[in-house]
């Protein structure tokens, strides 16, 4: 009887292992490094961790937390690596489970199931048991021992390993913890196709391994895509309207508009990147539209999709993933012959990993071949079957498998659809479970995507199932391939495969437990995110998302259940309120908005809702409406409802949040006086609550209100105080509340005030500091705000020309259309200021229509004034006069007087075009009014422009003495900025006047 390589040296390996263990026990007390039969039972005491060790084809670098196989990185979680390091450090010795746990998790209580998960992950990664190779042996009742020969790395090995360590791919691809069997040709073909054709869809039935192959292809070709490789798992997504949003979030593009596709295209347009859209079949039309749109708009992008059917999209190339090779019907099938077929190879490998004593020999090879044929070579079904060998043995497995198929197919074996084959496999697997495991298995069906052990305990441990038993049952379900375990960010995550979850969900419905399980599921995530909301104060965005962000699919599922008939709206409202940071930190503003609106609709029909939830939801709704819809009355109404609730609850934190929101709304719609009142209330509340950072924010709000209201000295006083007294916020919550870099925004406000007061050089310096600060951050509201303000910085066209392209690019990539429209206005203004009104005026008129439709009218009067200037230069005096008169009227009605001096000056220049004595008198009156308004504001820059226009008018009509008297005193008050356009123009005119 011949034996094959998959288990050829098992007996001798175990014997050698036991011998090594015995020897290690005898000598461990006195010898640190001893070699027995090629086994190194300890590392050298000096520099071993720095140099690394080798065993088999592997090279372990403890200091770099890196495991290599034949020069390629083996992806493992950090805890699994620590387990491996501990075992190799004590190679040949038995480490008790408690001792190993203490090494890897010092000063932390960890359940033994956690250790088993990591040991299992290591065995899979090392392919322990394949081809006779053994690494980790479990000594029953005692612990684990590392039995392979371990040697210190030589210099050549070390240099090669460090080279790999330093050149790790920047693509964060999920780890493949098991070897891929029988897919080399498919991976090679798809890798070639995706390079040549840009768009490939891997098509196959459920359980065929499409995702595994796609990830392997992505890892194979990742080095070719300098823009990155992005994996989008759509399996848990049920709402077709969120396909683009979820894709954008996975790529890292904030979703803050109704249609995020243009922003996503803009982000990817210049990227050489690979996008993997995994599990598209339930969202087929939307995935097809997304792929087509992205490929047309981003020429460097390649798309790899997986689906049970083709997307039927333009440019798509189909690769149908076949079943694994199965042996023909042959009674005398030898083990060696059977292993030439990939389905048998997979079965043998998985059976060995699950059951140490398994050996594929000539006696059972025909039976295993028959099992693989009955399972149609479907990898998932084969893995499930192999996971039962330790319970039934191969012959018992074949018997039970046959009964299950007969029951399902009624004898029509060849006509069986493949998804029904998987259903039969799951039926059979389910029947083999003990009653308690069946209950836990079906209760897990309420989870969508990944879930953690603590969530599993809450959902599954009720009535007959004790909490202490759930973790053990989880380990059993993982071992039987009904539950997948993986380790990421030191968190063990569990997941039911799609077909398995659908099967378990049917069982859960049939049991009548669905409602109760869904309630416990929703309650768990409500409690979790109520605690997580507090951690926003103490953790960075990345830390918080690493802990909680991956749970988003389960939050979606819980919310969907809560608002269905038979759900619990109260619970849904509480979870919606608690999960607001989840949506906002993910950049899913649109989804956050409609989930809040659904919760508020429930509040309106439920009179006993928690008033604190009402406050939180309305405050968040206001912030979600602002970037996605603009400053609309619905946003202000939501904030006012939130403010009323916050005042009734005496919640100072939320009063500040909402007052800031209302202030932003008032400023955006050009209501400077109302903004001033809100800023004053903000300072009062901040002073009462005693947070210095909040008081500083209040000073900034007051400064901007006064700046736009036309009181530059008072505005300067508040902004100086803010910058002088500003203290760094105690937590990240401050930015969550106020959404901006307060210091950068304060500096750009100071720059505007300084320029108006005649200090252009100081203004430019403050502006440059603000720009430097925000450019070092992720693209977001702070960056857009500062560069927009910088571009509006009227005295520095060079700065404006530098900022406008950035504003347009960032707003396009992030989908913030209001800011993009503002950027178009500024681009048009630059054309006009640079002497090209023919180009600038039509652009400005079009952009202004978009700005007005968005409700953003803060600087509308300023834009109208520039357009009037441009119209005047192309001799369209009548529409120019109409534009400037409308701008003046708006300033006076809203008491937003900032640009009134400049508008009056522009009106005077337009009146001069008429050339009549009456017009000349009117123009001089306009210039004089402009001077008065500028002096009232202490706006020396406006005053200089008005004085220059007045002096030029008087000079042109022979009133040179009066012209000199109007301009010279104003010019003399300047102490810097003499190389700016306004001062150069004034100096030239003064020189001419003095020469007369």
Question: Is residue 10 pLDDT above 60, yes or no?
Answer: no
DSSP state string for 552-564: HHHHHHHHHHHTS
H or E segment to which residue 202 belongs: strand 199-203
Q: How confident is the model at residue 756 (pLDDT cuts 50, 70, 90)?
A: very high
Classify burial at 468, counting beta carbons within 10 Å of its beta carbon; exposed 0-12, middle 13-18, buried 19 or more.
exposed
Span 205-218, average pLDDT: 87
Give the pLDDT mean for 365-377: 88
- Phi (first) and psi of residue 749, to 5 degrees: -65, -45
CA distance 932 to 673: 21
In a 13 Å sphere around the CA of 474, the CA atoms on its Cβ side amount to: 32
Q: What are phi and psi of 61, to 5 degrees?
A: -110, 95
Average pLDDT value for residue range 482-509: 84
- DSSP one-letter code for 609: -
pLDDT at 340 over 60: yes
Distance between CA atoms of residues 845 and 832, nearest Å: 12
- Whether the pLDDT of residue 491 is over 60: the answer is yes
Q: Distance of CA 349 to CAs 133, 179, 343, 360, Å? A: 12, 9, 10, 10
* pLDDT score for 406: 39
Whether 9 shows a pLDDT value over 70: the answer reads: no
Whether 412 has a pLDDT exceeding 80, the answer reads no
Q: Could you give the CA distance from residue 996 to residue 991 in angstroms, rounded to a whole number?
A: 9
- Rounded Cα distance between 339 and 231, Å, is 33
Q: In this predicted structure, which of 52-66, 654-668, 806-820 has the lowest mean pLDDT?
A: 806-820
DSSP state, 260?
Answer: -
pLDDT over threshold 70, residue 42: no
Closest of 810, 763, 765 to residue 787, by C-alpha: 810
pLDDT grade for 254, boundaries at 50, 70 and 90? confident
Greatest Cα pair distance, the chain, in angstroms, is 121
pLDDT band per the 50, 70, 90 thresholds, residue 488? confident
Does residue 181 carry a pLDDT above 80? yes
Q: How far is residue 231 from each of residues 250, 252, 495, measured CA to CA in Å?
A: 7, 11, 17
Cα separation, 707 vs 672, whole angstroms? 9
Q: What is the pLDDT of residue 700?
A: 92
Q: Which of 39-43, 173-177, 722-726 has the lowest mean pLDDT?
A: 39-43
CB 97 within 8 A of CB 90: no
Give domain limits for the chain.
10-166, 184-320, 335-432, 435-512
CB count within 10 Å of CB 810 equals 21
Specify which residues 152 forms β-bridges with.
53
**pLDDT tens sequence across 857-898:** 888 898 999 999 999 998 899 999 999 999 999 998 888 899
Q: How far apart are CA 262 and CA 256, in angstroms?
A: 12
Ranked by mean pLDDT, the top range of 307-316, 332-341, 904-913 is 904-913
Helix, strand, or coil here: 375? coil
Over the stretch 525-564, which tens digit does the pLDDT of each residue have?
999 999 998 888 778 888 889 899 999 999 999 999 999 9
Please give the share of the chain, as a percent, with pLDDT higher than 70: 85
User: For residue 496, is pLDDT > 50?
Assistant: yes
User: Higher confidence at residue 222 or residue 159?
Assistant: 222
Q: Are 73 and 168 in contact (CB under 8 A)?
A: yes
Indicate if the pLDDT at residue 3 is higher than 50: no
The enclosing H or E element of 525 equals: helix 514-535
What tens digit of pLDDT does each residue of 378-394 get?
888 888 888 888 878 88
**Is pLDDT above 60 for 171?**
no
Closest CA to 249 of 239, 228, 264, 229: 264
Handedness of CA 716, 719, 720, 721 (dihedral sign): positive
Spell out the residues 6+ positions from residue 566 whose beta carbon is closer than 8 angstroms to its own: 515
Position 992 scores a pLDDT of 93
Burial pattern 695-732, b for ≥16 Cβ within 10 A else e, equals bbbbbbbbbbbbbbbbbbebbbbbbebbbeebeebeeb
DSSP annotation of 340: T
User: Which of 22-31, 217-226, 400-409, 473-482 is least confident?
Assistant: 22-31
Residue 980: which residues within 8 A CB-CB, separation 6 or more?
760, 795, 796
Residue 176: which pLDDT band, with cuts at 50, 70 and 90? low
Q: Quick one: CA torsion of 286, 292, 298, 299, rounded to 10 degrees?
A: 160
Across 50-59, 140-149, 406-415, the highest mean pLDDT is recorded for 140-149
Residue 12 has pLDDT above 50, yes or no: no
Distance in angstroms (rounded) separating the CA atoms of residues 228 and 222: 7
Q: What is the mean pLDDT of residues 630-640?
A: 86
pLDDT at residue 715 above 90? yes
Averaged confidence pLDDT in the chain: 83
Q: Do residues 794 and 980 make contact, with C-beta atoms less than 8 angstroms apart?
A: no
**At residue 405, does pLDDT exceed 60?**
no
Least confident residue range of 459-473, 614-628, 787-801: 787-801
Between 670 and 453, the higher pLDDT residue: 453
Predicted pLDDT at 402: 56
The average pLDDT across 221-226 equals 86
Which CATH architecture best describes the domain 435-512? Orthogonal Bundle (1.10)
Highest CATH level, class, for 184-320: alpha beta
Residue 358: CA count within 13 A, CB half-sphere: 29
3-state SS, one letter per residue, for 705-735: HHHHHCCHHHHHHHHHHHHHHCCCCCCCHHH
Residue 20: pLDDT above 50? no
Of 677, 737, 743, whose CA–CA distance to 705 is shortest?
677
Indicate whether 657 pLDDT > 70.
yes
Lowest-pLDDT range of 318-322, 798-802, 904-908:
798-802
Confidence of residue 968 (pLDDT cuts 50, 70, 90): very high
How far apart are the C-alpha atoms of 782 and 739, rounded to whole Å? 8
How many CA atoms lie less than 13 Å away from 105 in the CB half-sphere? 15
Q: Give the closest residue to 827 by CA, choosing from 813, 814, 846, 852.
A: 846
pLDDT of residue 730: 55
Q: Is 39 helix (H, G, I), strand (E, B) or coil?
A: strand
pLDDT digit string (tens) for 581-597? 999 888 888 888 889 99
Return the residue matching tokens 């033994």: 112
Give the model's pLDDT for residue 50. 59
- Which of these, 375, 373, 229, 208, lies nearest to 300 by C-alpha position? 229
- pTM for the complete prediction? 0.69
Is residue 424 pLDDT above 70, yes or no? no
- With a cut of 50, say whether residue 141 has pLDDT above it: yes
pLDDT at 28: 32
Spatial distance between the Cα atoms of 940 and 758, rounded to a whole number of angstroms = 5
**CB within 8 A of 843, min separation 6: which ones?**
824, 827, 828, 831
Share of the chain above pLDDT 90, in %: 38
Q: How many helices (H) and strands (E) does the chain have?
A: 47, 16
Encoded tokens for 238: 């049920």
Res 605: pLDDT: 66
What CATH code is assigned to 10-166? 1.10.10.10
Statement: residue 425 has pLDDT above 90: no
- Give the number of residues written for the chain: 996
Mean pLDDT computed over 819-845:
89
Cβ atoms within 10 Å of 63's Cβ, excluding its own: 13
Measured CA to CA, the distance from residue 637 to residue 630 in angstroms comes to 13
More confident residue, 847 or 175: 847
Cα separation, 716 vs 755, whole angstroms: 11
Q: From CA 711, how far away is CA 895, in angstroms rounded?
A: 11
- pLDDT, tens digit, 9 for 90 and up, residues 770-792: 888 877 766 666 777 787 776 66
Show Cβ contacts of residue 955 under 8 Å, excluding neighbours closer than 6 positions.
963, 989, 992, 993
Place of tokens 């708006």: 890
Q: How many CB atoms lie within 10 A of CB 369?
A: 25
Pairing state between β 199-203 and 151-152: unpaired
For 595-611, how does the pLDDT look when each residue is reduced to its tens digit (9 = 90+)? 999 988 887 765 566 78
Geometric angle at alpha carbon 182, from 181 and 187, rounded to 5°? 100
Q: For the chain, report the end-to-end CA distance as a whole number of angstroms.
A: 120
Torsion over CA: 402, 408, 409, 414 (sign):
negative
Topology agreement, domain 184-320 and domain 435-512? no
**How far apart, in Å, are the Cα atoms of 983 and each of 462, 689, 766, 907?**
80, 47, 20, 21
Hey, CA dihedral for 387, 391, 394, 396, is it positive or negative? Answer: negative
Q: What is the CA radius of gyration of the chain?
A: 36
Q: Tell me the three state secondary structure of residue 287.
A: helix
**Least confident piece of the model among 489-493, 512-516, 966-970:** 489-493
What pLDDT shows up at residue 159? 65
Reply yes or no on whether the pLDDT at 209 is more than 70.
yes
């Amino acid at each position: 009887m011949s034996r094959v390589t998959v288990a050829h040296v098992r007996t001798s390996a175990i014997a050698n292992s036991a011998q090594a263990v015995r020897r290690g026990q005898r000598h461990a007390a006195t010898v640190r490094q001893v070699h027995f039969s090629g086994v190194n039972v300890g590392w050298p005491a000096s520099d071993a961790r720095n140099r690394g060790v080798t065993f088999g084809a592997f090279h372990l670098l403890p200091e770099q937390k890196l495991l290599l196989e034949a020069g390629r990185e083996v992806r493992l979680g950090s805890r699994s690596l620590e387990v491996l390091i501990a075992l190799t450090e004590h190679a040949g010795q038995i480490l008790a489970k408690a001792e190993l746990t203490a090494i890897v998790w010092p000063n932390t209580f960890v359940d033994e199931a956690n250790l088993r998960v990591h040991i299992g992950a290591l065995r899979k990664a090392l392919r322990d048991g394949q081809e006779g190779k053994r690494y980790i042996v479990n000594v029953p009742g005692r612990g684990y021992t590392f039995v392979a020969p371990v040697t210190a790395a030589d210099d050549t090995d070390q240099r090669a390993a460090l080279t790999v360590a330093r050149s790790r791919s920047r693509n964060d691809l999920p780890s493949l913890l098991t070897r891929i069997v029988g897919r080399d040709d498919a991976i090679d073909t798809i890798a070639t196709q995706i390079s040549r054709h840009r768009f490939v869809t891997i098509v196959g039935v459920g359980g065929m391994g499409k995702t595994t192959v796609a990830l392997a292809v992505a890892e194979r070709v990742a080095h070719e895509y300098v823009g990155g490789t992005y994996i989008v798992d759509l399996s848990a997504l049920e709402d077709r309207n969120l396909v683009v949003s979820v894709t954008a979030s996975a790529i890292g593009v904030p979703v803050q508009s109704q249609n995020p596709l243009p922003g996503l295209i803009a982000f990817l347009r210049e990227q050489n990147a690979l996008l993997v859209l995994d599990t598209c079949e339930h969202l087929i039309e939307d995935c097809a539209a997304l792929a087509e749109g992205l490929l047309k708009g981003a020429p460097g992008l390649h798309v790899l999709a997986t689906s049970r059917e083709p997307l039927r999209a333009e440019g798509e190339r189909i690769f149908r993933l076949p079943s694994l090779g199965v042996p023909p019907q042959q009674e005398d099938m030898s083990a060696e012959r059977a292993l030439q077929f990939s389905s048998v190879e997979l079965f043998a490998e998985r059976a060995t990993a699950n059951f140490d004593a398994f050996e594929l020999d000539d006696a059972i090879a025909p039976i295993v071949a028959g099992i693989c044929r009955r399972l149609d070579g479907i990898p998932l079904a084969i893995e499930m079957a192999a996971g039962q060998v330790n319970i039934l043995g191969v012959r018992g497995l074949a018997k039970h498998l046959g009964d299950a198929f007969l029951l399902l197919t009624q004898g029509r074996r060849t006509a069986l659809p493949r998804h029904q084959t998987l259903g039969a496999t799951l039926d059979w697997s389910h029947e083999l479970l003990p009653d308690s495991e069946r209950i836990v298995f079906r209760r897990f069906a309420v989870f969508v995507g990944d879930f953690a052990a603590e969530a599993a305990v809450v959902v599954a441990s009720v009535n007959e199932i004790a909490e202490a038993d759930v973790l053990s049952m989880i380990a059993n379900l993982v071992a039987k391939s009904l539950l997948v375990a993986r380790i990421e960010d030191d968190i063990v995550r569990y997941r039911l495969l799609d077909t398995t979850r659908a099967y378990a969900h049917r069982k859960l419905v049939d049991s009548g437990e669905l409602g109760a399980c869904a309630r416990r599921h929703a309650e768990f995530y409500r409690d979790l995110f109520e605690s997580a909301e507090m951690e926003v104060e103490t953790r960075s965005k990345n830390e918080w998302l690493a802990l909680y962000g991956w749970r988003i699919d389960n939050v979606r599922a819980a919310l969907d259940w809560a608002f269905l008939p038979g759900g619990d709206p109260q619970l849904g409202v509480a979870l919606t309120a608690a999960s607001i940071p989840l949506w906002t930190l993910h950049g899913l503003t649109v989804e956050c908005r409609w989930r809040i609106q659904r919760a508020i609709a429930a509040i309106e029909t439920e009179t006993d809702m928690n008033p604190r939830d009402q406050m939180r939801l309305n405050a968040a709704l206001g912030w979600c409406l602002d970037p996605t819809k603009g400053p609309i009355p619905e946003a202000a109404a939501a904030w006012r409802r939130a403010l009323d609730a916050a005042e009734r609850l005496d919640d100072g934190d939320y009063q500040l949040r909402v007052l800031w929101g209302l202030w932003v709304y008032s400023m955006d719609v050009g209501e400077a006086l109302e903004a001033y009142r809100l800023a004053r209330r903000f300072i009062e509340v901040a002073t009462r609550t005693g947070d210095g950072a909040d008081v500083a924010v209040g000073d900034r709000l007051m400064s901007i209100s006064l700046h736009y209201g036309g009181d530059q000295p008072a505005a300067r006083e508040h902004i100086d105080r803010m910058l002088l007294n500003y203290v760094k916020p105690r937590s990240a919550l401050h930015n969550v509340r106020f959404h901006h870099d307060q210091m950068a925004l304060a500096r750009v406000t100071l720059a505007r005030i300084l320029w108006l007061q005649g200090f252009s050089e100081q203004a430019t310096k403050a502006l440059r500091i603000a720009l430097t600060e925000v450019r070092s951050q992720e693209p977001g509201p702070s960056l857009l705000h500062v560069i927009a303000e910088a571009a509006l910085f009227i005295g520095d066209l060079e700065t404006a020309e530098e900022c406008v392209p950035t504003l347009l690019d960032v707003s396009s990539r992030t989908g913030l259309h209001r800011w993009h429209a503002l950027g178009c206005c500024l681009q048009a203004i630059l054309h006009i200021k640079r002497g090209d009104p023919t180009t600038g005026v039509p652009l400005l008129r079009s952009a202004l229509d978009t700005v007005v439709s968005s409700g953003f009218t803060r600087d509308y009067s300023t834009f109208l004034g520039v357009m009037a200037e441009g119209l005047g230069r192309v001799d369209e005096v009548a529409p120019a006069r109409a534009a400037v008169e409308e701008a003046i009227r708006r300033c006076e009605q809203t008491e937003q007087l900032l640009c009134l001096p400049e508008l009056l000056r522009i009106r005077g220049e337009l009146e001069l075009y008429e050339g009549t004595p009456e017009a000349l008198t009117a123009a001089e009156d306009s210039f004089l009014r402009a001077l008065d308004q500028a002096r009232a504001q202490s706006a020396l820059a406006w005053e200089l422009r008005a004085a220059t226009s007045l002096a030029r008018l008087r000079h042109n009509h022979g009133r040179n003495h009066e012209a000199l008297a109007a301009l010279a005193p104003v010019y003399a008050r300047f102490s810097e900025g003499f190389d700016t356009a306004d001062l150069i123009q004034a100096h030239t005119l003064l020189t001419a006047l003095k020469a007369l």
